[in-house]
Structure formats: structure tokens, C-alpha cells
């Protein structure tokens, strides 16, 4: 019991948001009379929020370093507009246009990262200027009009699903098999980590608690894949998002670059004295944010099947809110990729649930603002309590 209490105390924000997400899902499942967790709506939740979750992955790294990026929505819209010019108007192949757009996003991130890292202009000012600059360029490129339709191959980024190789009819058998395989991989990984910690004498959770945690997550994985299997299976955007979560979780938890990002956000001067190249780390964090903003813009454009001047509106606020709700600290140095995803899901489920029950956009915005304020207030309370 003491181990469990200690674990909950050390991860109160992370577990608190998971509990909040479950509570919100149960609440709206009741209020929507079961519509929220229908297979079609679960798929819609993924498709509707994938572009925000992609932004949140990059944004949490920016926030951990103690910076902010207000330009990501405008960058996403600008890259979406360029992708329409490339693929719709000039006929550029998708396999060429997509990497080119990601490269341009990285260059935009490098442009902004240079001013922040090397000229030392506050990121708030630089990215506020970027928000205005790239929103204006989006309107110039599109000439105030939407461009569509995209090639079918590009649309599959957001509208496509992994085909069922086993022909399961009403149930996508490949999705069920993927769920079972993921469960087996997860159990093996967790058992291996636990055995390694025991071998070297580190503390581990009690066997009962460990088994309960494993069992619960395995159930969640398989229920989730079963629900998806009842509709069209696994969306292509979910594959992209899962790959990004795994990649960036590994980078932040297991690499030197990740440790340097946390060190920079914790104390920039101390990190510099310890040998961390703080300017270089800041620069590359913004380059990475630019590329993920470009990817988000492509995913959103593929979903709409059009590039529009209004695309990306308020994306930056949703991404920032997802990070703070998911446990990132306004002071920097604290945050996780997983937490940002949970925060994004909290916002996404709230948006979807409130829309289904017919709550107006005015009340939706007010409630989202209140949730963000409470999340940041909770972070400051915990920080003062442990100080």
C-alpha cells in the first residue's frame, strides 16, 4: 500500500489526468446515450483530433525547454496551402510533395529557432510574428480561395484504413490480431523491464499491483481494437500518430537529446555549465516543431480534401492546452509526450461530447478555458506544495 501511495504521489498529475479522461468519457457516454463510444464515433474522434495531437507532441518539447510556439496553426495552414499548389495545381506526385512540405516546415522552424536561440528574442514575440506572417502568406498563396480536390493517394492519409487481409466481413480481423500482438509485446516489454530492475536491486511495484496494471492495459488495448474492428479498422492517421508517440517517447526518455531538453528547461545556466549546447538544443526543438506543424497541416488538408485560408485557426491554443492539461509545467522542465496525448484526448472528448449533446460553441469555449485554467492552477499548487 505504501508503494502504491508513493507511486500515486510522485505521478499525481499524470494519473489525475488519466482518471479525469475516464470520468469525462463515462460522463459523456451517459449524456449522449451511448453515442460517444460507438465504433463510428471513436473513429471520428481519432480523425478529428489527430492533427492537434501531432502538434501537441512537438509543442510539449517546446514547453519543456521553457519556450512557446504561437505560430503552429498558421504554419500548418501555410504548408497545407503549399501542398495544394504542388499537388492540385502543378500535378506534383504525392511522394514528392509530402517530403518537400515537411522540409519546408523544418526550414520555417529553423527560421524561428534562429531568432529565439541565437538572437535571444523571446519565443513569444518571435512566434507571434510568425503567426501573423504565415497567416498572411497563406491568404496570399491561396488568393483568399480554397483549392481542391487533392489526389486520392494523398486523401488516404486521413481517410484511409489498414485493409483487412483476412476478409473478416463485419469484423476487421487484422485489427483484432494487431491488438493481440500489441498486448503480447507490451507484456513482454514490461516483464523484461521489471526483471532488469530486480536484477540490479532497484525497487519494483508489488507483484499484485504489477499484474493488475498489466491486465488493465491489455484489456484497454483489446477493447479499443475490437471497437475499431467493428467499423473500418485502424485509420492510417492512427498509425502515423502511434509511430510518432513511440519515436518521441523514446527520444525524450532514452536519448541524450531528450535529457538535454529536460536539462535546458530545468535550468538553462546549469545546463550550459554542464556541457549542454543550449542554443543548439533550442534551435533543433523549433526545427522539429516546424516539421510536425507541417505534418499536422498535411493531415488536416487531407481530411478536408481542400486547402482553405481559415485552416489552422486556433490550432496553437488547442495544442498548448493539451500540453498543460497533460502535465507540462508553465515553468519548463516538466512534461511528457504521453501526458500531452492524454491532455489532447481530454480536449477532444470534451469537444466531441459537447457537440453531440448540442452545447453551443460559446459554452464549449468557456468550458475549455476553465479546464485549462484549473489544470495550470493544479500544477502551480503542486509545485508550491513540494517546494
Contact 85, 141 (CB under 8 A): yes
Give, for 266, the enclosing helix (H) or strand (E): helix 256-266
Q: Which residues pair with 161 in a beta bridge?
A: 235
State mean pLDDT over 245-255: 94
3-state secondary structure of 237: helix
Mean per-residue pLDDT for 54-81? 95
What pTM was estimated for this model as a whole?
A: 0.92
Terminal Cα-to-Cα distance of the chain (whole angstroms): 25
Give 340-350 pLDDT, tens digit per residue: 999 999 899 99
Find how far residue 201's CA is from the centre of its chain: 35
Torsion of CA 241, 321, 11, 196, to 10 degrees: 20
H-type helices in 200-314, by residue range?
207-229, 236-254, 256-266, 268-273, 278-304
| For residues 161-188, average pLDDT | 89
Q: For residues 278 and 280, what is the distance between their CA atoms, to the nearest angstrom?
A: 5
119: Cβ contacts below 8 Å, ≥ 6 apart: none
Question: According to the model, what pLDDT value does residue 373 have?
Answer: 83
What average pLDDT does the structure give for the chain?
Answer: 89
Q: What is the largest CA-CA distance in the chain?
A: 65
- Return d(Cα 48, Cα 76) in angstroms, integer: 15
Q: Are 379 and 330 in contact (CB under 8 A)?
A: yes
Domain boundaries, the chain: 2-160+235-386
Provide the percentage of residues in the chain whose pLDDT is more than 90.
65
| Residues facing residue 147 across a β-bridge | 307
Nearest Cα to Cα of residue 339 among 13, 9, 5, 7:
13
Contact present, 48 and 343 (Cβ < 8 Å): no
pLDDT in tens, 327-342: 888 778 888 999 999 9
The architecture of the domain spanning 2-160+235-386 is Orthogonal Bundle (1.10)
Amino acid at each position: 500500500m505504501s508503494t502504491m501511495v508513493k507511486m500515486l504521489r510522485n505521478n499525481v498529475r499524470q494519473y489525475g489526468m488519466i482518471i479525469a479522461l475516464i470520468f469525462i468519457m463515462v460522463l459523456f457516454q451517459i449524456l449522449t446515450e451511448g453515442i460517444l463510444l460507438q465504433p463510428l464515433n471513436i473513429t471520428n474522434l481519432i480523425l478529428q483530433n489527430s492533427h492537434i495531437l501531432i502538434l501537441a507532441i512537438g509543442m510539449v518539447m517546446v514547453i519543456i525547454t521553457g519556450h512557446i510556439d504561437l505560430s503552429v496553426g498558421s504554419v500548418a495552414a501555410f504548408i497545407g496551402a503549399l501542398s495544394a499548389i504542388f499537388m492540385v495545381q502543378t500535378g506534383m506526385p504525392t511522394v514528392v510533395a509530402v517530403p518537400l512540405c515537411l522540409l519546408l516546415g523544418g526550414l520555417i522552424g529553423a527560421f524561428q529557432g534562429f531568432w529565439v536561440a541565437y538572437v535571444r528574442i523571446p519565443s513569444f514575440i518571435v512566434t507571434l510574428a510568425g503567426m501573423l506572417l504565415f497567416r498572411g502568406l497563406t491568404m496570399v498563396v491561396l488568393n483568399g480561395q480554397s483549392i481542391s480536390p487533392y489526389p486520392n493517394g494523398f486523401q488516404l492519409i486521413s481517410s484511409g484504413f489498414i485493409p483487412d487481409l483476412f476478409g473478416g466481413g463485419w469484423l476487421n480481423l487484422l485489427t483484432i490480431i494487431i491488438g493481440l500482438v500489441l498486448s503480447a509485446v507490451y507484456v513482454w516489454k514490461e516483464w523484461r523491464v521489471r526483471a532488469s530492475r530486480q536484477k540490479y536491486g532497484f525497487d519494483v511495484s508489488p507483484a499484485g499491483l504489477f499484474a493488475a496494471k498489466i491486465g488493465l492495459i491489455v484489456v484497454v488495448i483489446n477493447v479499443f481494437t475490437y471497437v475499431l474492428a467493428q467499423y473500418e479498422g485502424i485509420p492510417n492517421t492512427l498509425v502515423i500518430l502511434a509511430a510518432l508517440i513511440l519515436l518521441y517517447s523514446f527520444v525524450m526518455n532514452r536519448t541524450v537529446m531528450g535529457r538535454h531538453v529536460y536539462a535546458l528547461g530545468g535550468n538553462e545556466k546549469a545546463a550550459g555549465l554542464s556541457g549542454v549546447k543550449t542554443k543548439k538544443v533550442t534551435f533543433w526543438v523549433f526545427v522539429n516543431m516546424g516539421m510536425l506543424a507541417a505534418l499536422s497541416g498535411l493531415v488536416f488538408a487531407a481530411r478536408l480534401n481542400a486547402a482553405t485560408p481559415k485552416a489552422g485557426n486556433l490550432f496553437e491554443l488547442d495544442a498548448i492546452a493539451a500540453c498543460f492539461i497533460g502535465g507540462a509545467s508553465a515553468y519548463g522542465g516538466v512534461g511528457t509526450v504521453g501526458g500531452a496525448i492524454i491532455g489532447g484526448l481530454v480536449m477532444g472528448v470534451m469537444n466531441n461530447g459537447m457537440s453531440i449533446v448540442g452545447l453551443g460553441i460559446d459554452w464549449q469555449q468557456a468550458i475549455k478555458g476553465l479546464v485549462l485554467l484549473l489544470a495550470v492552477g493544479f500544477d502551480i499548487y503542486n509545485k508550491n506544495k513540494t517546494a
